[in-house]
Amino acid sequence: MSARPHKQSMSELKLRRLTEHNIRLREDLARPRMRVSEASASLIRYCKTTKDHLVPSVWGPVGKNEDPYAPPQKCQCIVM
């Protein structure tokens, strides 16, 4: 009688690892794919149509009211 009754054999461990690897590969195959040319065209289209406030050399200066990165303006309110 062995001291470890639930010890798995080496072949069972290898089988389990291969099965898990097979499952991950099947999940990768099921993932939707896109051609590189389509992805790059989509990225170029996004960059041309989306205004980036951090690149004023391309889009021109940004007004303070439009700039989400501008420091917040201090309130000029007086409380009495």
- Amino acid letter, residue 24: R
pTM for the model:
0.45
pLDDT of amino acid 78: 65
- Tell whether the model's pLDDT for residue 4 goes beyond 60: no
Higher pLDDT, 30 or 76: 30
Give the tens place of pLDDT for each residue, 16-72.
Answer: 999 999 999 999 999 999 999 999 999 999 988 887 777 777 777 777 777 777 777
CA 2 vs CA 7, 11, 12, 15, 68: distances in Å: 9, 18, 18, 22, 69
Neighbours of 49 (CB within 10 A): 7
